[in-house]
Structure formats: structure tokens, C-alpha cells
Chains A and B, each alone.
Chain A
């Protein structure tokens, strides 16, 4: 059974701090996506990575796909209260047509 484990599960930090969220699996993925979900809303796609070793930046957010395409990380620089939310990774395997979500990281940024 494919599983995407995210760590940490919960994170509470002060505004201005940096943080990294990890998404790990023993399976290889064709692509991996990161979403952010705020209370009362559905997840919103932040980025898609498809190439091993790929790095993408979205303002203060940096996403990296592992060389072996089994893991990914999300780094936030100088976190702001608006970054608060549930961060989800999701991986797609083209060979088996499987799409699974990670266990989630709940981030709270305090002003």
C-alpha cells in the first residue's frame, strides 16, 4: 500500500521564522503536488513537480522534489500569519494510475 508520510504533523511558529515540511514515501511518483487548505475551504494547489531534483519557488515558498522522486520538501521563508493552514502533498503514479494524499501538516504562524 502506497503511503505518503508528512512531518511534522503539527507546527506552531512565530512570524518571521523559517520552516520546512517533509513528504516521504517508499514509492516512486510520476509527479507530486503541494496544496494548502484553510478552514472551511477545499485544498488549493500550490505547485506541481515532475522531475527528480526539481526546485520550484513561489514567492517565499520553495518546493523540492527528491532525486529519486520518492520525497519532497516545502520550505517557507519568513513565515507570515497568512501562511497558516493545512499543507498537503499528493503523489501520482502513472503506471498504476494511483493518486494519494499525504498525512498533512497543520501549520500555525503566530503574529
Chain B
């Protein structure tokens, strides 16, 4: 595997389900990001992890819970989501200070019923 991979690529869940999105980067980077991309709003930065510590949380509802067990892996745990949470969730990584060139994964298309 190369670059940034995300699994699953597609996910359909009910509002009472609990699921997790996984991101893995094979670039040796030390910062990882979660973004939300929906049809009606600009790409939104959700969380930033640098050296495995969360350094930014952009007022994201608590039904989204990130986890970064090491510098190569990032998870987004989902529970009791709402239909308006349906979107493309993108993971990215970068090296060094925040907002250096970010490399994005292909995203997970999430549908909440």
C-alpha cells in the first residue's frame, strides 16, 4: 500500500449504530487530519493530530470521536449519528508543521439512514 488509505470506502448506518472509520498513512508523516466534505458546505477540518496528540478540534459534536494510536493510524468512531452527518469523510497526513503539503486519502462515503 502506498500513500493514504481509508476503509471502508462506503458505509451505510442507522442512527443507533456504532461504527469506525480507519485511515492509514504509509508516508512516514507525523500529522494526520480528519475532514468532512458535504455537498452544501466547504470542506471542513474536523480534527488534527500531531505526534499522536490531538491539537485541534473544530467544535465537532461528541458523536464523532477520533483516536490516533500511533503516527500511522487514525480512526473516527461514530455513534448515534444524524442524517445530516451523511458526507464524504477524508483523512489526510502531512510532515512537520501543520498545513504543509497534505496528502489525502480517497475518503469514506457515509450515509446515515
Contacts and interface: CB of A to CB of B under 8 A. Distances in A.
A42 B107 CA distance: 6
A40 B106 CA distance: 6
B104 interface: yes
A93 B91 CA distance: 21
Interface stretch (A62-70, A76-84, A101-109): A101-109
Interface residues of A, number: 19
A11 interface: no
A90 B56 CA distance: 17
A42 B90 contact: yes
Interface of B: 4, 42-45, 56, 90-92, 98-99, 101-107
A90 B98 CA distance: 13
Interface in A88-102: 88, 90, 92, 97, 99-102
B39 to A, nearest CB: 10
Contacts of A42: 4, 90-92, 104-107
A31 B99 CA distance: 9
Select the residue from A101, A102, A104 with max chain B CB neighbours within 10 A: A101
A103 B99 contact: no
Nearest first, the 7 closest Cβ-Cβ pairs linking A and B are A42-B104, A101-B43, A92-B99, A101-B42, A45-B101, A99-B99, A42-B90
A43 B88 CA distance: 12
A43 B4 CA distance: 12
Contacts of A103: 42
Contacts of A88: 43
A92 B99 CA distance: 7
A100 B42 contact: yes
B91 to A, nearest CB: 8
